[in-house]
């Protein structure tokens, strides 16, 4: 996992900005958490592990609904683990998705939601599995193999990632501004794992014959620059921007100016940003 990713999730407030942006400005009211629950056929009696729980809203939803079986959370972020530990009924741990600290067959369901694309590096304690030429993501492959290991026979795995090349206009604006400040962003995590290669990645460990694939295409609709700038500011660390206040203030000011200029060219003043996600479910 890259240093930028590690720094980006020490504080969960930028992640919450992105979550709230999707809730408020999506064109269609897709509920990714509900989609995962349906795709994995989760019941209140399932022992469930959520790998990469982020702000913990998925597990909080299950807890509030009266989930009776044990719920577990595993995240490399200490802040995420601490947040999830405060959810009733959740056992939270800080750890590595590529080397899960759980026994074989410990769970009925394992979910990996919007996190596999951050695992571009090989595991530190497990040898990476053989990799297809089209899959250059040994860390993600190891995480899926680990999910299979901790599932009981017949248990379900559900992984969620973004569609291919999401947020093209947002990223074009951001890269233009960063280039003016002499910053070259690292490759996007979405280039590692996306809706196009997730099925092959999961099939590397699970039986492809039993997999299901759900694709949701959507868009963000903005009518003013404020939410655009807030979203882009929330990913500056992931884009390799140093945590230097003056530099960040200058970048955010330029993002605001560039976003305002783009709004003046948009028909009807509406910024439509393509996005979407893909859920792949498999059975152990």
Rg, C-alpha atoms of the chain = 19
CA–CA distance, 163 with 275 (Å, rounded to integer): 7
Listed residue (225, 163, 220, 152) closest to 188, CA to CA: 163
Q: In this structure, how many other beta carbons lie within 10 angstroms of the beta carbon of residue 182?
A: 6
Which pTM does this prediction carry?
A: 0.89
Report the CATH number that the domain containing residue 205 is assigned in CATH. Answer: 3.40.50.150
Tell me the three state secondary structure of residue 213: strand
User: Looking at the DSSP assignment, which residues form a beta bridge with residue 280?
Assistant: 159, 213
Percent of the chain at pLDDT > 90 equals 83
Summarize pLDDT for 32-43 with one digit per residue, the tens.
999 999 999 999
Q: Which domain holds residue 194?
A: 3-166+188-219+274-283
* Within-domain flag for 73: yes
Phi, psi at residue 176, to the nearest 5°? -60, -45
CA–CA distance, 252 with 237 (Å, rounded to integer): 13
- Cα-Cα-Cα-Cα torsion 55, 85, 104, 146, nearest 10 degrees, comes to 20
pLDDT given for residue 5 in this prediction: 64
* Within-domain flag for 136: yes
Determine which helix (DSSP H) or strand (DSSP E) holds 279, and give its type and residue range: strand 271-283
* Within-domain flag for 78: yes
Q: In this structure, how many other beta carbons lie within 10 angstroms of the beta carbon of residue 41?
A: 13
User: Looking at the DSSP assignment, which residues form a beta bridge with residue 268?
Assistant: none
* Within-domain flag for 182: no
Given a cut of 60, is residue 176 above it in pLDDT?
A: yes
* Within-domain flag for 178: no
pLDDT given for residue 189 in this prediction: 84
CA–CA distance, 216 with 163 (Å, rounded to integer): 8
Determine which helix (DSSP H) or strand (DSSP E) holds 271, and give its type and residue range: strand 271-283
* Within-domain flag for 77: yes
Given a cut of 90, is residue 11 above it in pLDDT?
A: no
> In total, how many domains does the chain have?
1
CA–CA distance, 58 with 142 (Å, rounded to integer): 23
Mean pLDDT confidence for 195-224: 95
Summarize pLDDT for 77-114 with one digit per residue, the tens.
999 999 999 999 999 999 999 999 999 999 999 999 99
* Within-domain flag for 171: no
* Within-domain flag for 56: yes
């Amino acid at each position: 996992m890259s240093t930028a990713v590690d720094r980006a999730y020490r504080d969960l407030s930028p992640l919450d900005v992105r979550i709230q942006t999707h809730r408020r400005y999506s064109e269609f009211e897709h509920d990714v958490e509900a989609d995962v629950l349906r795709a994995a056929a989760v019941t209140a009696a399932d022992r469930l592990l959520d790998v990469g729980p982020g702000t913990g809203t998925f597990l909080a939803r299950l807890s509030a609904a009266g989930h009776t079986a044990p719920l577990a959370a595993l995240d490399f972020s200490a802040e995420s683990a601490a947040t999830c530990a405060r959810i009733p009924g959740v056992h939270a741990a800080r750890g590595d998705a590529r080397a899960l600290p759980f026994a074989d067959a410990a769970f009925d369901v394992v979910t990996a939601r919007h996190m596999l694309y951050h695992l571009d590096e090989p595991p530190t304690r497990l040898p990476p599995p053989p990799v297809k030429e089209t899959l250059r993501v040994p860390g993600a492959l190891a995480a899926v193999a680990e999910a299979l290991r901790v599932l009981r026979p017949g248990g379900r795995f559900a992984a969620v990632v973004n569609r291919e090349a999401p947020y093209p206009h947002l990223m074009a604006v951001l890269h233009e501004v960063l280039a003016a400040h002499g910053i070259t962003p690292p490759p996007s995590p979405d280039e590692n794992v996306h809706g196009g290669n997730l099925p092959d990645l999961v099939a590397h460990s699970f039986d492809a014959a039993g997999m299901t694939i759900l694709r949701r295409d959507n868009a963000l609709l903005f009518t003013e620059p404020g939410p655009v700038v807030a979203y882009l500011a929330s990913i500056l660390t992931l884009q390799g921007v140093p945590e230097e206040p003056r530099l960040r203030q200058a970048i955010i000011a330029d993002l605001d100016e560039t976003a305002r200029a783009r709004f003046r060219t948009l028909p009807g003043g509406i910024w439509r940003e393509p996005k979407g996600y893909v859920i792949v479910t498999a059975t152990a």
